[in-house]
Structure formats: C-alpha cells, structure tokens
Amino acid sequence: MELKPSGVFASKQATKNQTHQLKVSFGLNVTRVDIDDIMCSALESGISYWCSAAEVVGKYLGEHAHEQISLGGTLMLHDSEENKKYELTLDKFLKGLKLFLENGRFDHVDIENERIDFGNFDSVCADSIVQFALFGETIFG
C-alpha cells in the first residue's frame, strides 16, 4: 500500500503558503503601572481622534486622570462626533486587553515572563485596547 500526501501537503507550493491557526493561552501579570501606561498613551494621543473628552467620574483616585482605571475608578469618554458617552472601568479595561491579545497581538507580550512588552507598544495599541474594552471590537480608525 502506497501512502500519498493529501490536503495542504500535496505540493511544495501549498506547504510554503499554508498557515495554521493555533489558539494559545498563557498567563499575563498586569500591574497598576502597566494599566496607567496604557491609559496615559490612550488619553494623550491614542483615542483623541474619536474621543473629545475623558471625564473622571466621582473624585480623582490618583493624581492624574489616567490613574483612575488602575485604582478601580471610572472614566466617562465622550464621542467627538455623536452625543454619546462611554463608561470605562477596570473590569472593562481588562476585558479589552484580553480581546486585544486574543486578536493576535502577541508581539506585545513577553510570554516567558508573563508581562506586557512595551517595546512594540504605541498609542494605536492603547486605542485598540480601549475600543475593545468599550465595544468588543475596534470600530474607529
């Protein structure tokens, strides 16, 4: 009986171009400083093209607005085109970060040390995380 390759392995061209999707799960330790850094990047430039204002709900829990989320507070983000407001909390932020990573953004993670790798991180990433947190997907940009 002769065994012949089948499917994607039938030709050399198919094996060169074929991709295989793997679902990878890993742990990630997210510190308060990590959250503050992401939120600072988001508020300073990342979300500014769709968000006209970020308002602290209640009293400031830290010295700056970007610290509000890591300290368990809430920010109200105002849509710059529509009369809409979006409430961002720590729980929503963490879900947004998880969705960001689940959407293939592993180049921003030091998997071995279970930490965020800010070497490739920018305001576009921070914007994506906030959008994932608020909408479950990126709808702006």
Q: What is the pLDDT of residues 81-121, one digit of tens each?
A: 999 999 999 999 999 999 998 887 666 677 777 787 787 78
Asked if residue 9 has pLDDT above 60, the reply is no
Asked if residue 29 has pLDDT above 60, the reply is yes
Long-range contacts of 118-124 (CB under 8 A, 24+ apart): 118/37, 121/38, 121/41, 122/41, 123/41, 123/42, 123/44, 123/45, 123/46, 124/46
Question: Dihedral, CA atoms, 83, 89, 94, 98, nearest 10 degrees?
Answer: -20
Q: What's the rounded mean pLDDT across residues 24-48?
A: 89
Task: Out of 27-36, 94-103, 127-136, give the one with best mean pLDDT.
Answer: 127-136
Which residue bears the tokens 């961002």? Answer: 88
Average pLDDT, the chain: 85
9 or 63, greater pLDDT: 63
64 or 18, greater pLDDT: 64
pLDDT of residue 1: 46
Q: What's the rounded mean pLDDT across residues 2-23?
A: 55
Asked if residue 12 has pLDDT above 80, the reply is no
pTM of the model: 0.79
